[in-house]
Structure 1
Amino acid sequence: MSKTLLETAVHREELYHGKILHLQRDTVELPNGQTAIREYVVHPGAVVIVPILEREDGSWELVLERQYRYPVAKVMLEFPAGKLDHGEECLASAQRELREETGYSAAEWAHAGLFHPVVAYSTEFIDVWFARGLTAGDRDLDEEEFLEVLTLPLEEFLDQCRTGSVTDGKTLIAAHWLLQIRAGAWVPDWQRV
């Protein structure tokens, strides 16, 4: 890594400490010796799960959710997802979130990768997981969580992504990885769990 790009914190101040998000303001020393202010959100990280129902004819249906998202004042179509609990491993979080939100458990899991949705102002990362061999069960939603679970054929879901009906970033990233897997360009390393 080039030292000509590094910034070093010289002072750190917590502006807000909430239930999920923390707001931080750092004074940093720039590569040229000057100082600047960096304000950002500290987030514990999250997972998104792509649950695949494989049909006898070889087609795929995807388990999705509709949920009202207050900041954008819209009902969004999304893959199941959630934040990591303190000290929780990403796979354990993915398994928990899938079960709690949809009622499904999965026999096999494959890790797709990790991405940072907004590097300019947040430490958040989202770990992407694929799940198959699904078994339906009971949901266990949080008291303040209201969502609808639905299944869509792969092509119908992709059409909604293409037409702009799906605008959730983590769902669009997962759709990209899903396309690569379905096309055979990427081969997931499925693990029985």
Structure 2
Amino acid sequence: MRRKSLSEQQCPIARSLEHVGEWWSLLIIRDAMHGLSRFDEFQKSLGVAPNILTRRLTALVEGGLMEKRCYSERPPRYQYLLTPRGQDLRSVLMALLAWGNTHFAPEGASIQLKDVLTGELAEPMLVDRRTGQAISPSRHTLVPGPAASDGMKQRLRHANGVMSGDNPSKQESES
């Protein structure tokens, strides 16, 4: 049974999951960020079946997150390198690492992020590039972009009403 494609969704989260929503994809990208590039390196690191690894690498190449390059003609051998699009996932993976350490590591962190200049441990957080302010639900909200459909605008109006405490459906039923 084929799963539904998310590529036609307007939501950027859904569209992103179309490319990296399968867990092997993010683990392959993680390993590529650690310097792995060859099929056998990924397979050894992940313990994934060859057919699954082949499918995931193919999907990552087709999605523009990795590039497949021949490094040996006889026999033909390939390496898989992150494209700029794939490299841009670094901040997403760092946020996922921090979230996992906070919520799913009862024994403590097994991997941490360290500032190489100061030697201090770093705690990743999402900030507004323009202001340097931490992104937080109390200060920031989602709003429709220029390409938003009417359905997206309605969903965001509803979400903003719920986040602000205004429940439009509750207000309608009370009127």
* TM-score bin, normalised by smaller chain: under 0.3
TM-score (norm 1): 0.21
Greater relative contact order (Cα 8 A, min sep 6): structure 1 or 2?
Answer: 1
Which structure shows the higher strand fraction?
Answer: 1
